[in-house]
Structure 1
């Protein structure tokens, strides 16, 4: 289905106008705070030149100054209107260049590109005594440490050592079972899409054997000595999450390519057909090639899904405004609970006007 849009849908509840800001929030040098504020000042001037009112600019000033500084490289995405900040997120990767736009609808394409798909993740550092687990919400807990049994094997073999070693392995197994039981619960409860496990190979194997299939299927392993706290493997966690995102993105693009190659009218491309599908609430997944989208504007009514190229395509006679096409379309399909996928260079897909859509039902002549 592509990237979920529930996290931007609430933007449709505000009448705007909107300031949309994407900026580098990196904080890894002594003068990082001053550089951050200088970057914001440049973007603020751009918004003011485009007509942003002082009330919205003041709201953004407060947000930029008051936010706690991130650690290391980061980006920040803000959408604000005169009544306040509507969206405020830090991102792991800073943008190549900051952007700031002011208009009747939010400029959501750079927001989608910066924030990316969320990958709810559970992280486990496993060893013979148990594991340290970080849940999707970031809370960390320690599980296992079965104190009733030995966890270390004898260094030298001797009479009866075989039985002692068996007891040690049984303790390891019980600890792995305890960790697996808690991990399975956290994966289910957090709707996790990724389980990252750090530790030595035997400990990871024991855990994998005890996990429910739903957890084992989303497991990514890190070769590491046991006992590593989850925070120390975050770079690998990010890399694993990126792989999940790319698999999803590729699958969504491939789904569009497959649908567009079949009869039945469940895929369209080109600005006109995509607009008609969005207006009919028929879009299941909007496909956008950011490098080739049209710079034209669309009409939009009070209902964010009331979008059109010409006035006579809108059914109601209410007030309309015009705004850049992609921002209008993103807002429209989010309002109808559709997904969005961004095409990348190298994708084997043809998009007229840089736009395509997989449909829930056929519209127009194909129907």
Structure 2
């Protein structure tokens, strides 16, 4: 997962309030239950020392939560200095329930882990008259969550239904039918390209009627085709079942996730042979302090053990308090090692990848490096 979206957050001074609300089953009183859950978390933050302005900023977020907003997916919100800095839906949150933390660092380990297990997909369900383009976050654990949707209505005026008559008139209508279908396909591709530009998916899944998929593929650029997978599922017809489409979508997302993890593993093993990777807390810490970490590697369901000292600057990190203090302009604090490494990596422009449970990494942590560090 690219940490650039949270880079500014990691560069800000704390302390921070980090709130996780777990997904719940739908209910008629969901909004009231959310209000009660938030009230308990607000009391906890106040007891931990959170300032009134920051708690009030969070209050505005949860007071505006409608019933059902947290049914299928949880939520993570980070605030500091009376301002909300991050407000995102989140898959899973490790099923650990509602949590509120007042800390010198944003506690985003659970969020990054859940997001790293998901695949961003642009799903296009098409026919010859247009298409429905969805931005979806897919996970085989949590299912598919729709982020955005756009309906593209083809601009061609000519009917795309094939004529039945014979003769020259028939051939002319056939030609106009084909031209209309390709014009509509070009409109759909524009919608897909717009979604790709804003959402930055890992894959495009092309679904819907066969003839519609054919003309859309013919209009797609090489760059789009390289990340496109086609599935024999989905329909724009009213009342069409979505179960087969979701199954096909999750299958393609699972394959993409496997390819992504395999690629990271291969890069890591190759990089180790060229002194361009780090493994173990001490080695990764040294690389993070030097700004050399391109991708921080964690292991699913297993956190990095121990704690680290960190100061105001992201690179002011150490296992020793005095060393961290010598690198910092202000006071230093001791926090869980994983949170500190995430902060340092994110603030210095890196990313994070979570490898499958059972992966053997010393101290459950490794890194792909921008450049070699140490001897």
TM-score tier by shorter-chain length is 0.7 to 0.9
CA contact (8 A) 2:310 2:317 kept: yes
Aligned match for 2:368, one of 353, 358, 366 = 358
Relative distance call for 1:276 and 1:325 in structure 2 (3 A) is: same
Report deviation, 1:64: 1.2
Residues 1:308 and 1:196: Cα distance change in structure 2 (over 3 Å): same
Q: Are residue 14 (structure 1) and residue 24 (structure 2) matched? A: no
In 2, the alpha carbon distance for the partners of 1:162 and 1:360 equals 63
1:144-223 correspondence to structure 2 within 5 Å: 144-148=154-158, 151-154=161-164, 163=171, 166-167=174-175, 170-171=178-179, 173-179=181-187, 181-183=189-191, 185-186=193-194, 189-190=197-198, 191-222=200-231, 223=233
Q: Deviations over 1:245-297 (max 9, x none)?
A: 4533442244223323x1x3211211111111111111111111254434422
Counterpart-to-counterpart distance in 1, 2:21 and 2:204? 30
Structure 1 residue 104 corresponds to structure 2 residue 104: yes
- Alpha-carbon distance in 2 for matches of 1:37, 1:95: 22
Please tell me whether the aligned partners of residues 121 and 192 of structure 1 are also in contact (alpha carbons under 8 angstroms). yes
- Residue 86 of structure 2 aligns with which residue? 87
Larger displacement relative to structure 2 (318-327 or 329-338): 318-327
Q: How does 1:1-367 map to 2 (within 5 A)?
A: 3-26=1-24, 28-69=26-67, 70=69, 72-91=71-90, 93=92, 95-98=94-97, 99-116=99-116, 121-133=121-133, 138=148, 140-148=150-158, 151-154=161-164, 163=171, 166-167=174-175, 170-171=178-179, 173-179=181-187, 181-183=189-191, 185-186=193-194, 189-190=197-198, 191-222=200-231, 223-226=233-236, 235=246, 239=250, 240-241=252-253, 243-260=255-272, 262=273, 264-289=274-299, 291-314=301-324, 315-316=326-327, 318-319=329-330, 320-346=332-358, 349-365=359-375
Whole-angstrom distance in 2 between the partners of 1:95 and 1:33? 23
Change (3 A) 1:274 1:32: same
Aligned equivalents of 1:115, 1:166: Cα separation in 2: 48
- In structure 2, relative to structure 1, the CA distance for the partners of 1:344 and 1:308 (3 Å cut) is same
Change (3 A) 1:307 1:335: same
Two-structure CA RMSD over aligned residues (Å): 3.5
TM (norm. structure 2) is: 0.80
2:143 maps to what in 1? none
Q: What are structure 1's unaligned runs of at least 5 residues? A: none
Contact 2:152-2:188 at 8 Å conserved across structures: no
